[in-house]
Amino acid sequence: MAELVKLREQYPYRPNARKINAYEDADYWVGVNVKRVQDLWLDRSPPLNILDLGCGPGYFLHLCRMFGHEGLGLDPDDEPFFRGTTNLFGVSRVVARINAQTPLPDLGKKFDLVTAHRVCFHRVARDKNGEWLEWTEADWKFFINDVRTRFLKPDGRLLLEFNRRADGSSFFTSGLREFFESQGARIVRWKALLAAGPNQRPSFKLG
C-alpha cells in the first residue's frame, strides 16, 4: 500500500530497529496475519468481539474486521508509526502498557477472543549478559487469571503466540510448558490457547 510507504517516510525507523519489523511491507504482514486468522478459524466463524493485546500496527484486527468481527487493540504508544497505521486501518486502540502483577485497564466489556501475537510484554529487562529477565510463573498466573475473570466471556479463548528464544529454541522450556499446561493450555508449536476456565479444553475452532 502506497499509504504505508508514505507513513514510513513520515515516521522513520527508530535507531537499531530490526528490519523484520518493516511493517510498511503490507504483502508480508497481510500474509502473516491471514494465517493467524485462519488458525483461529476466524474466516469461518460467526462475528466475534476480539481484544488484541500488543496490537502493533493493527494488521490482525484490520483483517478480522474484514471477516465481520469487531476488534479492539491495546498497546503502549511507543511507536509513532503504529499510531499512523492504526488510524489508517480504522483500528480502535486503547493506549496502555502490560506490566507484571498489574491488572489490565477496565475496558467495560468482555470478549469472545483475546489474542497476543509475538508476545514480548513478559520481558522485564536484560541482565549483564544480554539475556532477558522474564515474568515468573506467578506473574503469568496473575495475567491469565486477570484475562479470564475480567475479559473473557464464558466460552471465550485466550491465544498467546510466542517468539523463539535467541538461540532458536522454543519459548516453552520444560518448566514453562508444565506451568501453562497446569493452567489448562493447549500448546501447539509456539502458541498457547487457554479457555475461560482452567478445567475447560480450548479449541482453535469455535463451536
Considering the domain boundaries, does residue 25 fall inside one? Answer: no
Residue 95 included in any domain: yes
Q: What pTM did the predictor assign?
A: 0.89
Partners of 50 in the beta sheet?
A: 71, 113
> Domain for residue 3, yes or no?
no
- Please give the order of strands across the beta sheet that includes 93-95: 93-95, 70-75, 49-53, 111-119, 152-162, 191-195, 186-188
CATH of the domain at 51: 3.40.50.150
pLDDT of residue 8: 58
- Between CA 88 and CA 201 the distance in angstroms is 37
Domain residue limits at 95:
31-195
CA distance 159 to 187: 10
Per-chain mean pLDDT for the chain = 88
* Domain assignment present for 59: yes
Amino acid code (one letter) for 101? Q
Residue 79: closest CA among 18, 146, 22, 11: 11
Tell me: the pLDDT tens digits for 57-80? 999 999 999 999 999 999 998 888
The pLDDT of residue 15 is: 58
The predicted-structure confidence for 29-57, as pLDDT tens digits, reads as follows 788 889 999 999 999 999 999 999 999 99
* Domain-embedded: residue 15: no
Give the number of other Cβ atoms within 10 Å of residue 197's Cβ. Answer: 14
pLDDT score of 126: 82
Q: Is residue 58 part of a domain?
A: yes
- Report if residue 22 sits inside a domain: no
Q: What is the domain count for the chain?
A: 1
Cα angle 170, 173, 177 (rounded to 5 degrees) comes to 100
Cα(106)–Cα(103) distance, integer angstroms:
8
Report if residue 9 sits inside a domain. no
* pLDDT, tens digit (0-9, with 9 covering 90-100), for 151-193: 999 999 999 999 888 888 899 999 999 999 999 999 998 999 9
**Tell me, what's the pLDDT at 20?**
46
Q: What is the pLDDT of residues 1-35, one digit of tens each?
A: 566 555 555 555 565 555 545 665 677 878 888 99
